[in-house]
C-alpha cells in the first residue's frame, strides 16, 4: 500500500506541475487549470459557506471528503501536491524536520477553527493558508520566473 501511495503522490504532483505550466496565455488545455483548487475540500467549504450558496464546481471536493471517511487522510496523503513535496523534503532530510514539527500538531486544529469562524463572517483568510493556494503562489513567485526567464 505504501508503494501505491508514493506512486499516486508522484502522479498527482506531476499532473499538478503540468497544469501549473499549462496556465499561460493562450489557454489551450482541455482540463480545467484550477482542478486542484476545485478538489480542495478546505477551499470548497469556505467558498460555499461564505457565499451561502452551493457551487457545483466543488463537487469533486465533496467526493474526496467522502473518500476520507473510509481511507483516512486521503486528500493530504494521496492527492495534495504540497503533501507530496513535504513528504519528499522529509525523506531527503531523513525526517529531522518532521520530528520537530510534531510538537505543533495541535496548532493546525486551532488555525482551522479560526479560519472556519472567519468563513462564517465571509472572510476569505483560507486563501492565505490553504496548501494548494500556498504551493501555487510559491511556484508562481519563485519557480515560474526562473523557468520562463
Model pLDDT for residues 45-91, shown as the tens digit of each residue: 888 888 888 999 999 999 988 888 888 887 888 888 888 888 888 78
Per-residue pLDDT tens for 29-41? 788 888 988 998 8
For residue 69, what is the enclosing H or E element?
helix 59-71
Which pLDDT score is estimated for 60?
A: 92
Q: Name the one residue in this structure whose C-alpha cell is 510538537.
A: 103
Per-residue pLDDT tens for 128-138? 888 888 888 88
Q: Are 46 and 116 in contact (CB under 8 A)?
A: yes
**Nearest-angstrom CA–CA distance, 2 and 24:** 35
Tell me the torsion sign for CA atoms 124, 129, 134, 137. positive
Which pLDDT score is estimated for 33?
A: 86
Cell readout for 107 is 496548532
**Nearest-angstrom CA–CA distance, 52 and 69:** 25
pLDDT of 107 above 70: yes
Amino acid at each position: 500500500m505504501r508503494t501505491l501511495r508514493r506512486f499516486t503522490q508522484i502522479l498527482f504532483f506531476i499532473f499538478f506541475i503540468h497544469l501549473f505550466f499549462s496556465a499561460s496565455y493562450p489557454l489551450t488545455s482541455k482540463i480545467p487549470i484550477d482542478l486542484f483548487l476545485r478538489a480542495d475540500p478546505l477551499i470548497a467549504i469556505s467558498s460555499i459557506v461564505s457565499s451561502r450558496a452551493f457551487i457545483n464546481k466543488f463537487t469533486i471536493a465533496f467526493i474526496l471528503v467522502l473518500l476520507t471517511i473510509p481511507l483516512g487522510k486521503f486528500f493530504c496523503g494521496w492527492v495534495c501536491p504540497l503533501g507530496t513535496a513535504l513528504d519528499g523534503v522529509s525523506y531527503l532530510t531523513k525526517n529531522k524536520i518532521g520530528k520537530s514539527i510534531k510538537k505543533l500538531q495541535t496548532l493546525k486544529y486551532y488555525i482551522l477553527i479560526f479560519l472556519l469562524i472567519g468563513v462564517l463572517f465571509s472572510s476569505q483568510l483560507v486563501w492565505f493558508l490553504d496548501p494548494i493556494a500556498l504551493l501555487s503562489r510559491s511556484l508562481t513567485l519563485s519557480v515560474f520566473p526562473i523557468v520562463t526567464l
